[in-house]
Chains A and B, each alone.
Chain A
């Protein structure tokens, strides 16, 4: 071969006539373009058999054996724009023909198959360096770069040759049953395509495995993919096969006709078909089949992937007598994806977007997000609402605005307005189309579908704002357990949590896990980190929350009423109040409206509404629906009462405003409401309120309030008594005769009155804080005499009280009972119940109040001396004898209680002796008896005293002084300071004396077991005879019984008295007991 410059120059000229820098190729089958094709060079006459790239050059094998070296013109322009030209023409590179070329990159050499066999030429100089022996006539070969192994197929055998850097050494020869048409290395095996099938033949063992039955049409093709896979063609289908020959679970690619060759340029596989090229995604995904670009390049004869320009492919083709080379440049993936999206093929677009390399992760992410949203819109518009929402849901950057934009009827314009600009930006950014809001059933379906997403967004927004969310955490490094706990409690009200089976939570190993409470901050797992929030201004976020919540109620309204709307508005929410009210009101959903108003602290409005609902629902414009329909009448009142109780006393004006109708409509519930309020309402206020609106319930309130400790007895007992008094009197006014009769027993009381009367009586008798004086001032003098008498009694004005009984009620029986009562109270030492004698107590000395009877006598007798206003003067004679009779009866009945001398001195001189004689006699007898009894008692006491002294002496005898000479009962060591250490406590009041119980195994046992006077120690304590029993565990060094318990009993010394009964204690001095007393 001659390579003279001159010749070359000529040829170049010759060829240049046929070269043209082509424009773009014709229109494509579909509008989608993965590659742009440009014709770069035309060659006359010869067919280009094979094409390889090396460096920035192309090597083309022509069928006459010529090799062309093609490159860009060397000029000053930018490299991309420079036209291609033939740099070198090597005629006779193969003597008769050239079949295949392959660049050996590690050695910068070129392998070529020609009629002469397989040759290796250096690059770039193209000098022959090695020839593979016995490869003459090879029709294909495969080169394994890493092993330096060449496999050449010559007729029905495959020659394996090892290249050692200089020569090809024959290694092995494998016989074939047919002529290999194509061949690729797959690990240690060769994948060989025959006419009808493909086999995997192991290069060492020669075992063959069938991969796939190829069809009858065309040549089989095999492509080795970088992912250690093979793409094997059979007919018009290419399948993915592993190096083990097993088909992979992947989609196969099907072409419109059996391809004659395929190349791979990520992510596409380009197949060379007779009339065109076809590019399909090599991806395993579902849609790989559908994404296809047809490149209108007919008659392709060879194609190769550029080693330099990313993804570009060179194609040689033949049309008539003319061959040309086309350059296919890959359209950037993101553009491809966009283009697909524009065509409406979003799945493919997404697929492509995923294929963007890691270096473009940012672009990829943004693209994917935008595509999802667009796809969602697309699906939504094509009635696949659920899928649409899901797609939008996948996009973390899609704010709920994007969703709501699909259903504008859910967003009131006034609420949307502040966010309008944001929405417009988003629409523009994602190129979102205008989508018609669906109607009818589709609308229902859409609303139903959007609702969960709105709730999801709401949760995310809430989580974002919550303290401790990732956003807020950033600035807060030391986020301690304490803070967590703190937050937890702060959120408690807002988020009541049902605690169910979370016992295990309490023992998580983490600090937060160990919290007892389940009520942690809702800061929470932002599961799907939505990204739009951090890019928004705080105020926009709050607008957004409002928008979402408002839309949620609109959406829920459109759903069947399952109570979810009510539950929603009952919880803290950001619903736009004005809109929310409007929406709910026009739907007649008043219950929800009430809850919303309450949640937004519009109590007055809420209660007004409840009043309407319960008292006068017909006045409402829209009839109540849902839960509100049940609020008519009492339930409405109850709701209102419940609400007021929940609001508590902080809104007094609201309470005043509404208590009236509530109390009027259902006083019981109203009362309960006032009582249930926490913190409780000031009783003064309640009393005032009840007096104004429901006076009849005042008493009931005060009783309960005092029972429950809401109202203090000292403050309200008198108040209550006054109320009862009033109630009791009310009857008096209604029945004017009653008062005249002078006794409540005869009155025709209403049940309420007699109850009030009864209560008043009990209160006066038992109430600790009743101001009797105050009551007395208002008790009338003519009616309720019994009450008056009671009051006087409590005031200690017994004389006056007795006068009422005797003179006004004319009931000596009651008067005497009165005296008995006081007398007994006195005797029983229940002085405490009697108030100190006031000054008004006349006639009888206070301390001698034993002598109530004397006082009664006086009262009886008064009638004679002075007469009494009630009694007419004319009746005095009769009454005198009557009084004496009474006095005498009294004296004889109560002679043991009346001091005879005093009584006698009181009697006026004119009393006949026979009247008093029985009294005097019995008095004398009684006194005598008393004297004798006392003498007997004295004698008995003395005897007892002697007996105890005797016992004491006996006991003392049994006590043995514990000295340090004595030994432990078990180890027989002496109780020297070596064996025991006894700590004796010196207490001024207690002589410290010990008892030892050695060897008891437990202190309890010891306490039960032993006592110096044969009683258990605990009983000693109980009786107060020992003031303290202490136990020491004494380390007695004897190993047999390491833990001996020592019991030391402290007795009070003789001079001291029992704390309980104050009797002197028996003393056991030096009561260290010997160990042999241990049972």
Chain B
């Protein structure tokens, strides 16, 4: 069989517990939301086939329980991640402040080749909550942080109302693929559709 390019993307979702990591994944993959809070146990993943441009890839999204954190899962868990999603709750300042720690810890554990350019995506979740009345982190502030960290893409989401969830994950997939491209020197074998462009001719009629 001919060698095929990689089709698996490993994505890790991190953030304080309760910010909606599991809910986001569930909304994205299963199109379901439950407002019952069930703390995740251990660690688990969901897979979804995604179409990125003209490629179809399998995105494997790993979700961890807050209490497991880094220590108990070991580095094997984080190694080989293609993208790391950092989630916070826009209604809880602390969860935003902790992003820094999550990012740093991730980089320590996953130890990617090029930490400065490792793709992260930040999601500010629960924007629906109480119509945004209790919002504690303004969009500007979050974007500022993302910009500081080398232009991390930022999305404001609601797992509950399915706001921006697809867009966010699409971006996650795209960035994960970007990472792969750089690392594995993947050369696309697609036919360039835009190369053809013969001058238009009118057929004589009427």
- Residues of B56-81 contacting chain A, CB below 8 A: 56, 58, 60, 62-63, 65-67, 69, 71-77, 79-80
Beyond A210-B200, A500-B95, is A556–B74 a contact (Cβ under 8 Å)? yes
Minimum distance in angstroms from A592 CB to a CB of chain B = 12
- Residues of B12-35 contacting chain A, CB below 8 A: 16-19, 22, 25-26, 29, 34-35
Contact A208 B203 (CB under 8 A): yes
Question: Which one of A197, A205, A345, A459 lies within 8 Å of B41 (CB-CB)?
Answer: A459
A526 CA to B200 CA, complexed, in Å? 57
A520 CB-CB contact with B under 8 Å: yes
B8 CB-CB contact with A under 8 Å: yes
Beyond A501-B95, A527-B44, is A568–B38 a contact (Cβ under 8 Å)? no
Contact B39 A390 (CB under 8 A): no
Minimum distance in angstroms from A214 CB to a CB of chain B = 11
Nearest A residue (CB) for B18? A502
Contact with A along B188-206 (1 / 0, CB 8 A): 0011010010101111111
Nearest B residue (CB) for A484? B36
Classify chain B: how many residues form its interface, as a range.
35 or more
Q: Which of A172-180, A634-642, A938-946, A1005-1013 contacts the other chain?
A: A172-180
Minimum distance in angstroms from B136 CB to a CB of chain A = 9
Beyond A176-B204, A252-B191, is A513–B35 a contact (Cβ under 8 Å)? yes
Report chain B residues within 8 Å CB of A512.
35-37
B117 CB-CB contact with A under 8 Å: no
Report chain A residues within 8 Å CB of B98.
500-501
Minimum distance in angstroms from A160 CB to a CB of chain B = 12
Report chain B residues within 8 Å CB of A563.
71
Minimum distance in angstroms from B80 CB to a CB of chain A = 6
Contact with B along A498-519 (1 / 0, CB 8 A): 1111111101111011010011
A458 CB-CB contact with B under 8 Å: yes
A84 CB-CB contact with B under 8 Å: no
Contact A344 B8 (CB under 8 A): no
Nearest B residue (CB) for A462? B41
A394 CA to B16 CA, complexed, in Å? 27
B1 CB-CB contact with A under 8 Å: yes
Report chain B residues within 8 Å CB of A503.
91-92, 94
Minimum distance in angstroms from A619 CB to a CB of chain B = 31
A484 CA to B37 CA, complexed, in Å? 11
A495 CB-CB contact with B under 8 Å: yes
Nearest B residue (CB) for A555? B76
B170 CB-CB contact with A under 8 Å: no
A125 CA to B75 CA, complexed, in Å? 77
Contact A515 B203 (CB under 8 A): no
Contact B54 A387 (CB under 8 A): no
A500 CA to B65 CA, complexed, in Å? 12
A1037 CB-CB contact with B under 8 Å: no
Report chain B residues within 8 Å CB of A521.
38
Question: Which one of A174, A390, A510 lies within 8 Å of B205 (CB-CB)?
Answer: A174
Contact B37 A562 (CB under 8 A): no
Contact A568 B72 (CB under 8 A): yes
B42 CB-CB contact with A under 8 Å: yes
Report chain A residues within 8 Å CB of B181.
none
Minimum distance in angstroms from A349 CB to a CB of chain B = 11
A175 CA to B69 CA, complexed, in Å? 73
A94 CB-CB contact with B under 8 Å: no
Minimum distance in angstroms from B20 CB to a CB of chain A = 9
Minimum distance in angstroms from A545 CB to a CB of chain B = 12
Beyond A345-B1, A504-B134, A564-B73, is A520–B37 a contact (Cβ under 8 Å)? yes
Report chain B residues within 8 Å CB of A387.
6-8
Beyond A504-B91, A562-B74, A564-B71, is A527–B46 a contact (Cβ under 8 Å)? yes
B45 CB-CB contact with A under 8 Å: yes
**Most chain A beta-carbon contacts within 10 A, residue among B67, B198, B200, B202:** B67
A307 CB-CB contact with B under 8 Å: no
Report chain A residues within 8 Å CB of B29.
527
A209 CB-CB contact with B under 8 Å: yes
Contact A212 B196 (CB under 8 A): yes
A248 CA to B97 CA, complexed, in Å? 45
Question: Which one of A451, A501, A505, A567 lies within 8 Å of B76 (CB-CB)?
Answer: A451
Minimum distance in angstroms from B100 CB to a CB of chain A = 13
Report chain B residues within 8 Å CB of A484.
36
Contact B53 A390 (CB under 8 A): no
A462 CA to B38 CA, complexed, in Å? 13
A290 CA to B92 CA, complexed, in Å? 51
Minimum distance in angstroms from A705 CB to a CB of chain B = 35
Contact A286 B44 (CB under 8 A): no
Contact A513 B39 (CB under 8 A): no
A973 CB-CB contact with B under 8 Å: no
Report chain B residues within 8 Å CB of A201.
203, 205
A329 CA to B30 CA, complexed, in Å? 38
- Residues of A244-283 contacting chain B, CB below 8 A: 247, 249-252
A128 CB-CB contact with B under 8 Å: no
Question: Which one of B6, B43, B71, B203 lies within 8 Å of A456 (CB-CB)?
Answer: B43
A316 CA to B74 CA, complexed, in Å? 64
A781 CB-CB contact with B under 8 Å: no
B47 CB-CB contact with A under 8 Å: yes
Contact B76 A498 (CB under 8 A): no
Contact B76 A524 (CB under 8 A): no
Minimum distance in angstroms from A400 CB to a CB of chain B = 13
Contact B79 A448 (CB under 8 A): yes
Beyond A174-B205, A252-B191, A393-B60, is A528–B38 a contact (Cβ under 8 Å)? no
Contact A206 B44 (CB under 8 A): no
Nearest A residue (CB) for B129? A504
A563 CA to B60 CA, complexed, in Å? 26
Question: Which one of B38, B67, B76, B201 lies within 8 Å of A449 (CB-CB)?
Answer: B76
Contact with A along B120-149 (1 / 0, CB 8 A): 000000100110001000000000000000
Contact B44 A456 (CB under 8 A): yes
- Residues of A342-359 contacting chain B, CB below 8 A: 344-345, 347
Contact A498 B66 (CB under 8 A): yes
A466 CA to B66 CA, complexed, in Å? 18
Minimum distance in angstroms from B117 CB to a CB of chain A = 21
Question: Which one of B8, B56, B92, B193 lies within 8 Å of A286 (CB-CB)?
Answer: B56
A522 CA to B39 CA, complexed, in Å? 6
Report chain A residues within 8 Å CB of B37.
505, 508, 510, 512-513, 515, 518, 520
- Residues of A282-331 contacting chain B, CB below 8 A: 284-287, 290
A559 CB-CB contact with B under 8 Å: yes
Contact A527 B63 (CB under 8 A): yes
Beyond A448-B76, A498-B66, A518-B18, is A393–B47 a contact (Cβ under 8 Å)? yes
Minimum distance in angstroms from A975 CB to a CB of chain B = 50
A501 CA to B20 CA, complexed, in Å? 12
Minimum distance in angstroms from B18 CB to a CB of chain A = 3
Contact A394 B71 (CB under 8 A): no
Question: Which one of B38, B40, B67, B88 lies within 8 Å of A496 (CB-CB)?
Answer: B67
B2 CB-CB contact with A under 8 Å: yes
Nearest A residue (CB) for B21? A525
A718 CA to B67 CA, complexed, in Å? 49
Contact A175 B204 (CB under 8 A): yes
Nearest A residue (CB) for B109? A562
A508 CA to B36 CA, complexed, in Å? 8
A290 CA to B4 CA, complexed, in Å? 11
Contact B205 A501 (CB under 8 A): no
Question: Which one of B10, B17, B35 lies within 8 Å of A502 (CB-CB)?
Answer: B17
**Most chain B beta-carbon contacts within 10 A, residue among A449, A496, A508, A515:** A508
A475 CA to B22 CA, complexed, in Å? 26
Report chain A residues within 8 Å CB of B25.
527
Report chain A residues within 8 Å CB of B196.
212-213
Contacts beyond the supplied A213-B198, A510-B36: 11 A-B pairs with Cβ under 8 Å: A177-B201, A208-B202, A387-B7, A459-B43, A484-B36, A502-B92, A520-B38, A524-B40, A525-B34, A528-B45, A556-B74
The 10 closest A-B pairs by CB, nearest first: A459-B42, A502-B18, A501-B94, A501-B95, A564-B74, A567-B72, A510-B35, A522-B41, A512-B36, A175-B205
Q: Can you give 8 A-B contacts (C-beta < 8 A)?
A: A212-B196, A386-B80, A451-B74, A455-B77, A463-B41, A505-B18, A515-B37, A524-B41
